[in-house]
Amino acid sequence: MKKIEAMKGVIGVIIGRSYGGKSLGKTSRTGAIKIQRKQSGGLKAVTQSAKGLQELFIRIEAGAEDSVIKAIGKLD
């Protein structure tokens, strides 16, 4: 999360609900992030934790959505 917060264009990360026992898939590792969709003010995402899935909302500066999505894709 600190890596995401440090990205240019990111205002902050809001942690949402956690879903124990769920997974992003067989090839996902702890810390993997999947962007679900763009929303007004940011990006809806989930990350794989050791115990399941964690919802995230990534607040983004206007116009920086695509560059942040690309940068997050490079984290994996």
Tens digit of each residue's pLDDT (9 = 90 or more) over 3-30? 899 999 999 999 999 888 777 766 677 8
Beta carbons within 8 Å of 70's beta carbon, 6+ residues apart:
none
Pairing of strands 33-39, 52-60: unpaired
Calpha distance 39→49 (Å, rounded): 23
Would you say residue 52 has pLDDT above 90? no
Structurally, how many domains does the chain consist of? Answer: 1
Three-class SS of residue 42?
strand
Q: Which long-range contacts (CB under 8 A, 24 or more apart) does 38-44 make?
A: 38/65, 42/11, 43/68, 43/69
Domain range holding 7?
2-73
Which helix H or strand E contains 4, and what residues bound it?
Answer: helix 2-5
Per the model's pLDDT, the better-predicted residue between 74 and 16 turns out to be 16
